[in-house]
Amino acid sequence: MQKITEIKELKLKANDIRKDVIEMLAEAKSGHSAGSLGMADIFSVLYFNVLNHDPKNTKWKERDRLILSHGHVCPVRYAAMAEAGFFPLKELKTLRKLGSRLQGHPHNLDLPGIENTAGPLGQGISVATGIALAAKMDKKDIKVYCLMGDGEINEGQPWEAFMFGAKNKLDNLIVLIDRNFIQIDGNTEEIMPLDPLNKKFEAFNFHVIELNGNDVKELLEGFEKAKRVQGKPVVIIANTVPGKGVSFMEGKSEWHGKAPNKEEAVKALEELNEIEKKIKEE
């Protein structure tokens, strides 16, 4: 697909994704708001600029692979995929409904373009390192992107996979940590402190890039830097605001796994429409 290079257009696409997420969750009456909204800029940049993919040929062998480890934020991925043309936008309203291809956690056998089934946290990085190693063995020039929540790296399995990736010098692996400081029980630093996260990854022999995960320009530059790294895997620590774009959700852990009701959805969409106007005026 044709890449979007204009920062303003990528911002507008991220805002469209946020509106889609609100409408989907309000219709479903369940789902994860905070992380989905917080990652909209990341998914806009990935699906409309960074990824080498073809929505009309989802089995294209030379495509980049995107592994979503924290599958509960799949509404933002579904919205980005629909906006990119993988399936009709109207299908977004079927989220979590019986028989829908868009379940509360993604299932790779249901929806073309989904590379992995996700649900149990911490497992996506093991899938990603396996795909990255296989690509190396097959001499395929592809990138494997693994998106993870910061809360899920409380688990031990990811760190085993990080060691595996570094040992095998998987420079085709780019891990992005959604560093929003929230998980279902509250603040990550109160539940199981992760900082200094950058030094932990450096100790595991990763190339570390830190950036603002809600800044489109920084994301574009960060992914370009990540692609050029040789000899070791890359981790992008993307600092994001959970609930980004909706004032009453921003930074609040109670919106981790909560959907807006009709009144809240109306208010959220009003705010996002105002943001759209401001972006267009830039």
* Reduced 3-state DSSP string for 17-70: HHHHHHHHHHHHCCCCCHHHHHCHHHHHHHHHHHCCCCCCCCCCCCCCEEEECC
The predicted structure's pLDDT at residue 14 = 98
By CB atoms closer than 10 A (0-12, 13-18, 19+), residue 249 is: buried
pLDDT bucket at 84, cuts 50 / 70 / 90: very high
Q: Is the pLDDT of residue 197 over 90?
A: yes
pLDDT tens-digit map of 33-69: 999 999 999 999 999 999 999 999 999 999 999 999 9
Q: For helices 7-28 and 262-281, give the axis angle rounded to 10 degrees.
A: 170
Residue 82 DSSP code: H
Q: What is the mean pLDDT of the chain?
A: 97
- Indicate the helix (H) or strand (E) that contains 224: helix 216-228
Q: Which of 21, 160, 7, 138 is nearest to 79 (CA)?
A: 21
Residue 115: predicted pLDDT: 97
**Average confidence (pLDDT) over 251-261:** 95
Distance CA 67, CA 233 (A): 15
For residue 228, give both structure tokens: 């050029």
Which domains does the chain possess? 7-281 (3.40.50.970)
At residue 184, the pLDDT reads 86
How far from the centroid of its chain's Cα atoms is residue 260's Cα? 20
- Tell me the per-residue pLDDT of 96-110, one tens digit each, with 9 for 90 and over: 999 999 999 999 999
Mean pLDDT over 195-201 rounds to 97
Report the first-to-last Cα separation within the chain, whole angstroms. 26
- Alpha-carbon separation of residue 219 from 21, 95, 103, 130 (angstroms): 21, 28, 28, 25
Provide the token pair at 82: 């629909």
Residue 32 confidence (pLDDT): 97
d(CA 11, CA 272): 12
Predicted TM-score (pTM) of the model is: 0.97
For residue 21, pLDDT beyond 90: yes
Q: What is the DSSP string of 254-270?
A: GGTT----HHHHHHHHH
Judge whether 2 and 232 are in contact, CB under 8 Å.
no
What is the model's pLDDT at position 205?
98
- DSSP assignment letter at 117: -
